[in-house]
Amino acid sequence: MGLLNDAGVWLAGKLEAVAGVTVTYTRFADGATIAPDIWVGRSGVGADPGQLRYHQWGHRDYVLTASTLTVSGSVVEPGIGDRIAETINGVAHIFEVQSDEAGDHWRWSDPARTMYRLHVKRVS
Amino acid sequence: MATLPTRELCADLATYLVEQVPTAGVAPNSVTREYYVRTSDKDDAALVQISGRRVTIAPTLPNSYSYEPETRGKDRYTHRISVLVEKRYTDAGDPTRAWLDTEVDWVYTNIVLMFDFDKRDGNGPTFNRQLVTLFADVQLFDLTDLLAHGKLFSSQVDIVFQELVDV
């Protein structure tokens, strides 16, 4: 079990090197900006057919090493309203940490609890 | 071919709203008569397209209208119409109570009260003095839209109107 756990932590450390993207992370709570090790975990579209409306919206997950989300030396949890600026194909986008349909805005992404998985939606 | 009165009423209400509340029709705000609203694209942010306050007036589904004989010379028409008001919260974080206060008050003032027509008070609309509002049912907002679907304020007002028309 210890060996598998160690392997999971090692693998998580390698993900940033092979799949990482460059972003600026701005905390809603205090405006602090961070440049964490981060990569895109998932991107997709959801839909909600209502009585008169048919809405689609995008959703995206970012995965980051928890220890890189630090403010004044302390590791912090992601908060609703935190924003991530990423340039995709030369176009600047801003994504915001928001609740998903299950009500979570983040969850642990690995059994060892070394990585955050953030649920975001594009806001501009 | 005859024109569906309920469809005409939706168009009249849209025009009336812009006459009474001119800012409602000034971009990025909009007031339109539709049968449905579709907001989608292949981007990962379809709801970002919504800017300003979007008002859509449409026949209510599934029961849009009915009529019955009132006298030998008149029919009683019942129109069921839905008004969907949408606006996106663009600041960071969850929508604030003050912002929601503004939006729910806008719906109450400019939809619920604006479309409350009463013949007895001479409060009928200029486009149809026979029109009377029977009932309005308001969904304050959809909480899932607000917190999990891109912070979209989405309020639906279902209104039942009635009028007597010559046959």
User: What is the mean pLDDT of the segment spanning B158-165?
Assistant: 94
Between chain A and chain B, the number of residue pairs with CB atoms below 8 A apart is 94
Cβ–Cβ below 8 Å for B38 and A103: no
Neighboring chain A residues of B147 at a CB cutoff of 8 Å: 98-99
Cβ–Cβ below 8 Å for B150 and A57: yes
| Beta strands at A115-122 and A106-108: parallel, antiparallel or unpaired | antiparallel
**Residue in the block written with tokens 């729910």:** B104
Q: Which residue of A has its CA nearest to B56?
A: A52
What digits encode the pLDDT tens for the residues B82-121? 999 999 999 999 999 999 999 999 999 999 999 999 866 6
Mean pLDDT is lowest, of B40-49, B62-71, B131-140, for B40-49
CA distance B83 to chain A (A): 9
The neighbouring-strand residues paired with B58 are B82
Total Cβ atoms within 10 A of residue A48 = 17
Indicate if the pLDDT at residue B44 is higher than 70: no
Look at residue B31 in the predicted model and tell me its pLDDT.
Answer: 97
Q: Transcribe A56-73 into DSSP letters.
A: EEEEEEEEEEGGG-EETT
A55 to chain B, any CB pair closer than 8 A? The answer is yes
Nearest to B84 among A53, A83, A123 (CB): A53
What digits encode the pLDDT tens for the residues A40-57? 987 777 777 677 888 888
A94 to chain B, any CB pair closer than 8 A? The answer is no
User: What is the mean pLDDT of the segment spanning A5-16?
Assistant: 65
Neighboring chain B residues of A93 at a CB cutoff of 8 Å: 45
Indicate if the pLDDT at residue A1 is higher than 90: no
Task: Tokens for B53, please give them.
Answer: 């306050």
Q: Is the dihedral of CA A89, A92, A98, A104 positive or negative?
A: positive
| Beta strands at B53-59 and B30-33: parallel, antiparallel or unpaired | parallel
Count the alpha carbons within 13 Å of B47 in the hemisphere toward its beta carbon.
29
Q: Which DSSP category does B48 fall into?
A: G
In this prediction, residue B22 has a pLDDT band, given cuts at 50, 70 and 90, of very high
